[in-house]
Each structure stands twice: as C-alpha cells, then as structure tokens.
Amino acid sequence: MKNIATLFCCLFLSVSAMAQQNWKAVMRYDKQLAKEQLTKRFMEYVTYDTQSSSHSQTTPSTKGQLALAKALAKELKRIGASNVQTTKTGFVIAEIPATTAKPTPTLVFLAHLDTSEALSGQNVKPQLHAKYKGGDIIINKEKNLCLTEYNSPQLLQARGHDIITAYGETLLGADDKAGIAIIMTFADYLLGNLNIEHGPIKIVFSPDEEIRTGIKALDIDALQADYAYTVDGGGLGEIVVENFNSRRFNAVFNGMRSVHGEYAMNADFSDNVLMASDFHTLLPRHRRPENTSGTRGYIYVHSITTEDDRSVVSGNIRAFTDEEMQELSQIVTQAFNTTKSLNPKNKGAELTFQDEYKNAKAVIPAEVIEMAENAMRQEEIQPKRISVRGGTDGGILSFKNLPTADLFAGMFNTHSALEYADVDVMEASLRTLMSTACGWVGQKTE
C-alpha cells in the first residue's frame, strides 16, 4: 500500500506540474534583469554588519541585525507586502496575499539576517567578477588571496557566471544575505505581477541563526502556515532533506592542586588539569570532525576551561541516526569513566548531556521535498538531495510543527575570507521559488 501511495503522489505531482501556470510568460521574465536586481540587492545588504554574538544574552544578539531588519521591512512595505512587522526579537514578517481562489497551503520562505562570528562582518566591500572565464579569481592581491578551482571546485561549473566576493578582510555575508536577496526579489516579482497564480505566502527574516538561538523566538502558532522553505543552501539544485542530531556534553573534573609538588605523592594532591587532558586524549581521533565525512558522525571538544581546582571540558556529538548518537555518547561516557579510574584521588567528577536539535528527516512530509524538486525540474535544474553536517533553522521549525526544507542559495566557502556568491545560481534559486509557489496551487492538504 505504501508503494501505491508513493506512486500516486508522484503521478499527482506530475499532473500538477503539467497544469502549472507558466509564470515566466505571464510576467515576461528576463533572466539578465533578474541577475541585475539580485546583484544590486545583495551588494547593498552585505554592507550591513549583522555578525551575531554568542556572548550576548539578547535576541537579536547584535544591533546590526535590527538595522538590516528595519531596512528590509521598509523595502517590503515599498514593494506592496501586507502586514509588515519587525518584532522586538529582530524578526521581519510580511505577507503576500493569495492570487488564487483554489485551496492552497500557506507557504513561508525564510532567510537569516546574521553572519558568522568566524570573521568580521564590518565594512564589507563587495566586488563583482563578471562573466567568470575560468582560472583564479583574485580577492586580495596584497594577501595573495585567490579563489582557485582547487580551493573552490564549484568554479568548474561556473564559467560565464557572475561571482561576488569581498576583499579578504571580512566575510562577504553571502550566508545568508544571498537568501535574503533571493526572497526579496521573489516577493517583488509576485507583488508586481498579480496575474501570477499562487497561494498565501509569508516572508520571514530571522536573527541569530549562526548561534542557534534566534529561530526559537518565532511564534509558529501566530504565523499560521502549513509548510516552509529556508533559502540558506549552497550549490545548484541542492535541497537539504536531513540534518545532524546534536548533543552537547560537559565533563567536570574537581581536584586539589594547592598541595606543594614536593609533598604531592603522599598527600591529597589531585590534578584536575591532567584529568581534563586525559579525557580529551581518550576520545578517539578517528571520530573527530576532520576525520569524518558524509553521514558519519563525530565527537568534537570545543573548549577546555580551568579555574583553580575545577576543569570543564565542553563539546558536541553530531550524528544522523539515534543509533550512532547513542554509540558516540557511550564512547564519551567510557572515556569519562576511564579518566576517573586513572585519577582515583579526584575530588568529584560529573558528566552531563543535553540534546540541542534533532534530525528533521522523519518529520518533513515527502510532498514538501517533491514539490521543490518538481519546481527545479520545471526550470531544467537537476535536484540534488543532500544531508547537511550541521543544524538548520528548518530542523528546529520542523519539530515545532512547521515542516521546513532548505533550498540552495548560491553561497560557497561560507564562514571564511574565501566566501563568494554565484549570481547565476542565485537566479536559478529565484526561479525555483517562483515555480514552487505556483506548483502548490490547488494542493491544499488537510
């Protein structure tokens, strides 16, 4: 019965695709003009310093995100969006009314405002490398900083494309201002072409995605939507269908290091620094992030702190399956127990785990993925399902009863000075959003 249902769903989507309105003909779509609009928007948005801060206790964590949020809200009002609002927590929310009377689900398209803490986001100066001809792209001659087909293999498919980089002093901010530029242009097209048939659409720009705190403040019930798509991915045709499970661990070791070394052997001397080192060393190197790839999970210690007689080792476990998560958690537990046995004079030790986010694969309905894939095929783009080795806002939203998949946005080498945006891939993402919105018409689910 499951196979029959799957076949029916595929046939249903195929028939729907055949009947889908030709939105490009309705609005007389001009690809070059779309690229120019995307480029203009993107190069403006990246000048806002929206770097988030994990040391902040507020949402949004930085004032720059609010500045961009207010500018985007103003632009959304100017192009005709409805019910535009900027929340105190830094969200921009807007609506695009339906242009069809057919039963159609309410869709949300999201991108995040912030950029990574990995590199400065201040005084970003974007530079356009038009119609890439192959070979190296010089980002900063003085620093000998270049994009090459070795450090950026995606360039092998980018001949003739427009490439945007920064100047090597900062992040570019393509993650996720490429997504913002795509969604804003998408909204502009729908609001400026009311003959294009689509259902109710909501636009959301969220804060603090990079530090995994922002999306938790979004009121899903008030949003009143059925499905969502984040536009926060990379290469042409990519759609994220699953993400890592993430579990944080803290290993605390208490010792007594105040005893003079001369008398340590026959005293209560206990070295908490050594315990922290032992624990870290006992974690297997072959399960570290730099030694794993694909769907294989990892254990990563991100900090070891010591204050007097107390040392704390903090880290993450990432795995796609619950079974592997349990396996890796057991490895961490064994290393902790072995450390205690090696240091019998310890003055107390504690290991705790805390789940951060879950793999959304099991809770995203097949039709959410298939509709986007069908939209790509409509645009002669080959869909590529990928598993992302990290977390996404979509994963969090999916477990808050808003099934959310992530679509490509043309950003590459993110979180580094080599970050760049491919405008031609951004334009393909724009067309994917347009066809996805049109493809859902008449597909209302109960």
Does the structure show a pLDDT above 50 at 339? yes
Considering the domain boundaries, does residue 445 fall inside one? no
Could you tell me what percent of the chain has a pLDDT over 70? 94
Assign 263 a pLDDT band (cuts: 50, 70, 90).
low
pLDDT of residue 14: 44
- For 13-39, write each residue's pLDDT tens digit: 444 444 678 999 999 999 999 999 999
Options 49, 75, 114, 406, the catalytic residue: 114
Options 49, 209, 210, 271, the catalytic residue: 209
Residue 209 annotated to the active site: yes
One domain for residues 111 and 166:
yes
Residue with tokens 């206990």: 270
- For 380-406, write each residue's pLDDT tens digit: 999 999 998 887 788 889 999 999 999
- For 118-130, write each residue's pLDDT tens digit: 999 999 999 999 9
One domain for residues 86 and 235:
yes
Residue 393 annotated to the active site: no
**Can you tell me the distance from the alpha carbon of 315 to that of 280, in angstroms, rounded to the nearest whole number?**
10
To the nearest whole number, what is the mean pLDDT of the chain? 92
pLDDT of residue 445: 64
One domain for residues 234 and 278:
no
Instruction: Please tell me which residue, 342 or 446, carries the higher pLDDT value.
Output: 342
192 is written with which tokens? 């400026």
Instruction: Please tell me which residue, 373 or 268, carries the higher pLDDT value.
Output: 373
Residue with tokens 């605390």: 252
Does the structure show a pLDDT above 50 at 8? no
Assign 47 a pLDDT band (cuts: 50, 70, 90).
very high
Domain CATH code at residue 348: 3.30.70.360
- For 292-331, write each residue's pLDDT tens digit: 999 999 999 999 999 999 999 999 999 999 999 999 999 9
- CB-based burial label for 393 (10 Å; 0-12, 13-18, 19+): buried
The residue type found at 383 is P
Considering the domain boundaries, does residue 368 fall inside one? yes
pLDDT of residue 224: 94
Residue with tokens 């590459």: 412
DSSP 89-152: TS-EEEEE--S--S----EEEEEE--B-TTS--TT---EEE-S--SS-EEEETTTTEEE-TTT-
Split into its structural domains, the chain has a count of 2
Longest dimension (CA), the chain: 87
Instruction: Please tell me which residue, 405 or 260, carries the higher pLDDT value.
Output: 405
What are the start-end ranges of the H helices in 215-321? 220-223, 272-282
Does the structure show a pLDDT above 50 at 99? yes
Considering the domain boundaries, does residue 7 fall inside one? no
What is the domain range of residue 315? Answer: 245-357
Residue with tokens 């632009």: 75
One domain for residues 353 and 297:
yes
One domain for residues 120 and 226:
yes
**Can you tell me the distance from the alpha carbon of 190 to that of 200, in angstroms, rounded to the nearest whole number?**
11
pLDDT, average across residues 140-164: 95
- For 194-251, write each residue's pLDDT tens digit: 999 999 999 999 999 998 888 989 999 999 999 999 999 999 999 998 899 999 999 9
One domain for residues 27 and 113:
yes
Instruction: Please tell me which residue, 394 or 435, carries the higher pLDDT value.
Output: 435
Residue with tokens 């902790």: 336
Half-sphere exposure of 167 (CA within 13 A, CB side): 9
Considering the domain boundaries, does residue 15 fall inside one? no
pLDDT of residue 19: 61
pLDDT of residue 18: 46
pTM: 0.88
Beta bridge partners of 127: 165
